[in-house]
Amino acid sequence: MTKSVLIERISEKLEGLSKKQVEVIIETIFESIKEALAKGGKVEIRGFGNFRLRSRNARKARNPKTGEAVEVPPKKVPYFKVGKDLREMVNKV
What CATH number should be reported for the domain holding residue 50?
4.10.520.10
State mean pLDDT over 52-76. 94
What is the C-alpha separation between 26 and 42, in angstroms, rounded? Answer: 18
Q: What is the pLDDT of residue 31?
A: 96
Indicate the average pLDDT of the chain: 93
Shared domain for 31 and 76, answered yes or no, is no
State mean pLDDT over 19-40. 95
Shared domain for 35 and 15, answered yes or no, is yes
State mean pLDDT over 4-31. 93
Shared domain for 91 and 59, answered yes or no, is yes
Q: Which residues contact 8 (CB under 8 A, 6 or more apart)?
A: 19
Total structural domains within the chain: 2
pLDDT at 75 over 80: yes
Shared domain for 92 and 59, answered yes or no, is yes
User: What is the span of the domain harbouring residue 70?
Assistant: 41-93
Shared domain for 7 and 27, answered yes or no, is yes
Q: What is the pLDDT of residue 93?
A: 62
State mean pLDDT over 31-52. 94
Shared domain for 12 and 46, answered yes or no, is no
What is the C-alpha separation between 44 and 50, in angstroms, rounded? Answer: 4
What is the C-alpha separation between 45 and 86, in angstroms, rounded? Answer: 11
What is the C-alpha separation between 69 and 62, in angstroms, rounded? Answer: 4
Shared domain for 32 and 45, answered yes or no, is no
Shared domain for 64 and 85, answered yes or no, is yes
What one-letter code names the amino acid at 72?
V
